[in-house]
């Protein structure tokens, strides 16, 4: 049986809820990615151009420190589901910090994100360009209204 892991970054709980639904369908182990300095509600205020998320997102070189997940868990995984919210159409830079560890090199990775309206296409294109050593499978944007059927459809698409 393949070993699957879901690594997700979530501040408000939306991405965590989606990750839990994916785990329920796949049986994959859940691992929450955490920033070394947790984000406060003020940090997450995307309407404030001086908020932490605004500043990090608009600085392509920003790589916030993370609590590094278990390397062995990642090394032993056959498939990794990588989830996050979208910030201005992109993954938060903590995801880039994680990907730049090199742990995902040659791994089978499926990106998922949460967003009410923003499409995942820009984010997916950037990740596949910036991290070509990763085997990127089909990506998927989910809203908080995700169903087990939606997860199953996405997973089936990735197994063709």
149-159 pLDDT, tens digit each: 888 888 887 66
Between the alpha carbon of residue 39 and those of residues 11, 92, 157, the distances in Å are 7, 12, 34
Q: How many domains does the chain have?
A: 1
Q: What is the pLDDT of residue 56?
A: 94
Q: What's the CATH number where 128 sits?
A: 3.40.50.360
Within-domain flag for 160? no
Within-domain flag for 28? yes
23-67 pLDDT, tens digit each: 998 999 999 999 999 999 999 998 999 999 999 999 999 999 999
pTM exceeds 0.85, yes or no? yes
Domain containing 134 equals 4-155
Within-domain flag for 143? yes
- CA 21/CA 57 separation, integer angstroms: 27
Within-domain flag for 132? yes
Confirm if 93 and 65 have CB atoms less than 8 A apart. no
Within-domain flag for 85? yes
């Amino acid at each position: 049986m393949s070993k699957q892991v879901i690594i997700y970054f979530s501040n408000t709980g939306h991405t965590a809820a989606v990750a839990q639904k994916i785990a329920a369908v796949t049986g994959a182990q859940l691992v929450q990615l955490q920033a070394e300095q947790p984000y406060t509600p003020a940090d997450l205020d995307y309407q404030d151009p001086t908020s932490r998320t605004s500043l990090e997102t608009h600085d392509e070189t920003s790589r916030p420190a993370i609590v590094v997940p278990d390397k062995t868990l990642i090394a032993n995984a056959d498939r990794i589901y990588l989830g996050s919210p979208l910030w201005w159409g992109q993954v938060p830079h903590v995801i880039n910090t994680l990907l730049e560890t090199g742990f995902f090199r040659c791994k089978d990775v499926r990106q998922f994100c949460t967003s009410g309206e923003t499409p995942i296409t820009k984010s997916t294109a950037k990740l596949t360009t910036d991290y070509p050593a990763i085997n990127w499978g089909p990506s998927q944007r989910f809203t908080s209204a995700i169903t087990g059927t939606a997860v199953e459809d996405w997973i089936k698409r990735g197994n063709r």
